[in-house]
């Protein structure tokens, strides 16, 4: 399987037909489910640790790259997710102790979160496993751990700076929805096949449709909106369809729990009955009626909310702020960068880069 070494972009045909998991007899449908469940675990742990969005995106990228090179049959998704989180914290200089990561991993891997009781033996087992898996992940990724290209969140934030004369409430909803769609894109290995600019552009397009925000498509009025994000219209169309497809969970695709039920003192428990083997919904707000086959659980402000988890937050100083939220002083906060709601750009030196 070939990856372009300069940017780690993979051939999607290899993902469909020729991953190590596929060669081990795991179907595409099964691998898709395992990836999503592992990513649910990774995101829940990351949000509980209050990691910045850039660090979470880095951990997610490591996770998807790893399983393009190694099989789910040989490595458990939760163990690799925990190792990816710790590795991303080091790479992005977001310091978290291994004891912190291990404790949260043990909690979210428990059978019942509502009755979870802290178990020192379980936490120690997780600590040993993460220490064991972290060098495996690093070596598998050829120690090429720096994500040099901009992340989709950065592309989105730059685009938000270009929006003038947009109603504050519309802008708030647009930013929040676009941010949530980017979050959800990491549930799939889309980051391996699409450029960050393309993923961000697809999120922008879909979020604009959701809030009825008119984006410029007339060259005589200046740059078309996709030119601002440096995205080709062809790639945009493909990525939009991939995102729409990712929200479709075929009924009956999942028939049994996905994780093992055995636990030993030498390895952490990696069973979570809350997941029940189902494909993961991130907890971020996702497009309502984006796909008629999606099973709707509820709506909030006119958008689909399939999984109630308010952890789609970033840290702004000592306060926790929802991704894309416009603060009282008129700033859109996200990815450690703030822009003013009226389109004026805050001075770079005044931005909270955390």
Q: What distance in Å separates the CA atoms of residue 224 and residue 206, rounded to the nearest whole number? A: 16
Range with the poorest average pLDDT among 17-26, 90-99, 338-347: 338-347
- 102, with CB counted inside 10 A (0-12, 13-18, 19+), is buried
Burial category of 348 from C-beta neighbours within 10 Å (exposed 0-12, middle 13-18, buried 19 and up):
exposed
Question: Is residue 34 included in any domain, yes or no?
Answer: yes
Overall residue count recorded for the chain in this entry: 354
What is residue 206's predicted lDDT score, i.e. its pLDDT? 95
Beta strand segments in the chain, E: 3-4, 9-10, 299-300, 303-304, 313-316, 319-322, 331-334, 337-340
For residue 347, what are the contacts with CB-CB under 8 A and spacing of at least 6? none
Are 132 and 187 in the same domain? no
Domain span including residue 156: 152-248+309-350
Q: Place 332 in a pLDDT band, splitting at 50, 70 and 90.
A: very low
* % of the chain beyond a pLDDT of 90: 47
Of 217-231, 263-277, 282-296, the poorest mean pLDDT is in: 282-296
Determine the pLDDT at residue 249.
54
What CATH number is given to the structural domain containing 38? 1.10.472.10
pLDDT in tens, 153-208: 999 999 999 888 888 899 999 999 999 999 999 999 999 888 899 999 999 999 99
Three-state DSSP class for residue 339: strand
- Domain boundary (108, 140, 172) is at 140
Are residue 243 and residue 123 in the same domain, yes or no?
Answer: no
Burial of 194 (0-12, 13-18, 19+ CB in 10 A): buried
Query: What is the pLDDT at residue 78?
Result: 96
High-pLDDT (> 70) share of the chain, %: 68
pTM of structure: 0.69
């Amino acid at each position: 399987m070939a990856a372009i070494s300069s940017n780690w972009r993979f051939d999607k045909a290899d993902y469909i037909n020729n991953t190590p998991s596929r060669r081990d007899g795991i179907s595409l449908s099964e691998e898709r489910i395992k990836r999503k469940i592992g990513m649910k675990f990774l995101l829940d742990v990351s949000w509980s640790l209050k990691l910045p969005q850039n660090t979470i995106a880095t951990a997610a990228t490591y996770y998807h790259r790893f399983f393009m090179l190694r099989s789910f049959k040989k490595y458990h998704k939760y163990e690799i997710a925990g190792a990816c989180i710790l590795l991303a914290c080091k790479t992005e200089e977001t310091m978290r102790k291994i004891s912190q990561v291990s404790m949260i991993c043990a909690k979210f891997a428990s059978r019942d979160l509502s009755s979870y009781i802290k178990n020192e033996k379980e936490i120690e087992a997780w600590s040993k496993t993460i220490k064991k898996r972290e060098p495996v992940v690093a070596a598998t990724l050829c120690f090429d751990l720096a994500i040099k290209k901009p992340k989709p969140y950065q592309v989105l934030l730059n685009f938000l700076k270009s929006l003038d004369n947009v109603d504050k409430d519309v802008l708030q909803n647009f930013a929040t929805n676009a941010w949530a769609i980017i979050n959800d894109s990491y549930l799939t290995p889309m980051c391996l096949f699409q450029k960050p600019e393309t993923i961000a552009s697809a999120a922008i397009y879909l979020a604009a449709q959701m809030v009825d925000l008119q984006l410029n498509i007339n060259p005589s009025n200046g740059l078309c909106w996709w030119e601002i994000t440096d995205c080709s219209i062809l790639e945009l169309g493909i990525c939009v369809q991939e995102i729409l497809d990712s929200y479709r969970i075929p009924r009956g695709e999942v028939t049994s729990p996905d994780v093992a039920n055995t636990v030993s003192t030498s390895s952490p428990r990696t069973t979570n009955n809350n997941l029940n083997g189902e494909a993961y919904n991130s907890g971020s707000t996702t497009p309502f009626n984006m796909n008629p086959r999606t099973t709707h659980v509820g709506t909030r402000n006119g958008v689909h909310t399939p999984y109630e988890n308010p952890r789609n937050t970033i840290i702004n100083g000592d306060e926790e702020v929802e991704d894309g939220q416009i603060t009282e002083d008129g700033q859109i906060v996200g990815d450690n960068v703030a822009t003013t709601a009226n389109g004026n750009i805050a001075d770079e030196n005044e931005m909270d880069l955390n």
